Amino acid sequence: EAQVTQNPRYLITVTGKKLTVTCSQNMNHEYMSWYRQDPGLGLRQIYYSMNVEVTDKGDVPEGYKVSRKEKRNFPLILESPSPNQTSLYFCASSSRLAGATDTQYFGPGTRLTVL
Amino acid sequence: AQSVAQPEDQVNVAEGNPLTVKCTYSVSGNPYLFWYVQYPNRGLQFLLKYITGDNLVKGSYGFEAEFNKSQTSFHLKKPSALVSDSALYFCAVRPYRDDKIIFGKGTRLHILP
């Protein structure tokens, strides 16, 4: 089954404690992206990656890091989380090959609470 | 600045009536346009997209959207609403020759029985 998986689904942590949210896709997609969803603000793109070892900032990259060492994985790293990073996070992937639909497939989301 | 606007936070429609969820955008060039739906406690699901060609595009669950270049709009429509259409709807834009994706703030659709 084609899917995007994220782990963990729920996480409560404390300020300053480094954490990683994993994202993996099994569709051989080139493009992967992280978003955060906040009430009244919709989805905002944090980082995206066009392919292995190619990453770029979205609209709200401050306080986040990403890496793309393998095509299927795109982890989101919060090195020193703060309460304003409490949010619902989504990973997504899509194909950017010529003629591809460019439709994004989303993971189930990770609800992060930073105390 | 490039942006996507969904002017209505919430839309209420009686079951069986037609529905419209509005989206306007401000980006350079000819963008790719998308609609996604989010059901409670779920991730986002693709509904439909406009890349090029016919301005009226049809998608999943009986939804359609009309691309209007002069008004820079991409409104989502359905001729007859179902209670099961109640969800949060997002309009998204990929600007021409850009790799970023810009989402609107979302519109909550309530279909009243």
Chain A: nearest CA to B86, how far in angstroms?
17
User: CA-nearest residue of chain B to A99?
Assistant: B51
pLDDT (tens digit, 9 = 90+) per residue, A72-108?
A: 999 999 999 999 999 999 999 998 776 666 789 999 9
Q: Rounded to whole angstroms, how far apart are CA atoms A66 and A78?
A: 9
**In chain B, which residues have pLDDT < 50?**
none
Question: What is the pLDDT at residue A100?
Answer: 60
Question: What is the pLDDT at residue A98?
Answer: 61
Q: Rounded to whole angstroms, how far apart are CA atoms B103 and A70?
A: 27
Q: Rounded to whole angstroms, how far apart are CA atoms B10 and A35?
A: 22
Q: In what order do the strands lie in the sheet with A65-66?
A: A4-7, A19-25, A76-78, A65-66
- Chain A residues closer than 8 Å to B36 by CB: 104, 106
pLDDT (tens digit, 9 = 90+) per residue, B66-84?
A: 999 999 999 999 999 999 9
Q: Rounded to whole angstroms, how far apart are CA atoms B105 and B3?
A: 10
Chain A interface, Cβ < 8 Å to B: 4, 31, 33, 35, 40-45, 48, 50, 56, 58-59, 90, 92, 101-109
Token representation of residue B111: 């279909």
Question: What is the pLDDT at residue A71?
Answer: 96
Question: What is the pLDDT at residue B43?
Answer: 84
pLDDT (tens digit, 9 = 90+) per residue, A9-32?
A: 999 999 999 999 999 999 999 999
Q: Rounded to whole angstroms, how far apart are CA atoms A75 and A23?
A: 5
Residues B79/B62, Cβ–Cβ less than 8 Å: yes
Q: Rounded to whole angstroms, how far apart are CA atoms A91 and A104?
A: 10
Which residues contact residue A62 at a Cβ distance below 8 angstroms, ignoring those fewer than 6 apart? none
